[in-house]
Amino acid sequence: MIPIKRILFLVSGVSSFIIFYMGLVNYLTAVEPATGMILLVFATVVASGTLLSTVYISKSITTPIEKLAQNMTEFSKTNKIRDKKPINTNIKEIYELNENFKSMGQKVEETISVQKEYVEKLKGIDRKKAEFASMVSHELKTPLVPILGYVQMLQKQELMGELNKQQLDAVDEIYLSALKLQKLIGDILTTQKLDLGKLEFNQEDIDITKLLNSIIKDFTPITSQKNIHIVKNNTENIIIFSDKDRIHQVFSNLIKNAIDFVESEKGQITIGAKNEKEFIKFFVKDNGVGISDTNQKEIFKKFYQIDTSTSRKRNGSGLGLAICKGITEGLGGKIWVESKEHVGTTFYFEIPKQSIKVNSKK
Ligand SMILES: Nc1ncnc2c1ncn2[C@@H]1O[C@H](COP(=O)(O)OP(=O)(O)OP(=O)(O)O)[C@@H](O)[C@H]1O
Ligand SMILES: [Mg+2]
Find the residues whose C-beta lies inside 6 A of ligand 1. Answer: 187, 253, 257-258, 261, 286, 288-289, 291, 299, 304-306, 311, 316-322, 345
Q: How confident is the model at residue 5 (pLDDT cuts 50, 70, 90)?
A: confident
CA nearest ligand 1 atom 25, residue: 320
State the helix-helix crossing angle for 92-156 and 165-196, rounded to 10 degrees. Answer: 150
Task: Please give the CATH number for the structural domain made up of 204-352.
Answer: 3.30.565.10
pLDDT in tens, 201-251: 999 999 999 999 999 999 999 999 999 999 998 777 899 999 999 999 999
- The bound ligand whose nearest atom lies closest to the alpha carbon of 183 is 1
CA nearest ligand 1 atom 13, residue: 305
Tell me how far CA of residue 234 lies from CA of 50, 238, 255, 303, in angstroms. Answer: 90, 10, 16, 32
pLDDT in tens, 264-323: 889 999 999 999 989 999 999 999 999 999 999 999 999 998 876 544 457 788 999 999
The pLDDT, as a whole number, for residue 258 is 96
- The bound ligand whose nearest atom lies closest to the alpha carbon of 312 is 1
Q: Which residue has the higher pLDDT, 34 or 322?
A: 322
Q: Which residues contact residue 134 at a Cβ distance below 8 angstroms, ignoring those fewer than 6 apart?
A: 189, 192, 193, 196
- The bound ligand whose nearest atom lies closest to the alpha carbon of 341 is 1
Please give the model's pTM, rounded to 2 decimal places. 0.69
Residues for the chain: how many in total? 362
Distance 261 CA to ligand 2 centre (A): 10
pLDDT at 183 over 70: yes
User: Which residues pair with residue 207 across a beta bridge?
Assistant: 239
Reduced to 3 states, what is the DSSP secondary structure of residue 350? strand
Atom of ligand 1 nearest to the CA of 262: 3
Distance 150 CA to ligand 2 centre (A): 28
Atom of ligand 1 nearest to the CA of 257: 8
State the Cα–Cα distance between residues 238 and 244, nearest whole angstrom: 14
Check: CB of residue 206 under 8 Å from CB of residue 239. yes
Distance 70 CA to ligand 2 centre (A): 58
CA nearest ligand 1 atom 8, residue: 257
Distance 305 CA to ligand 1 centre (A): 6
pLDDT in tens, 154-166: 999 888 889 999 9
Check: CB of residue 61 under 8 Å from CB of residue 92. no
Helices (H) and strands (E) in the chain, counts: 9, 7
The pLDDT, as a whole number, for residue 309 is 54
Exposure b/e, 170-185, CB count within 10 A at least 16 = b:
ebeebbeebeeebebb
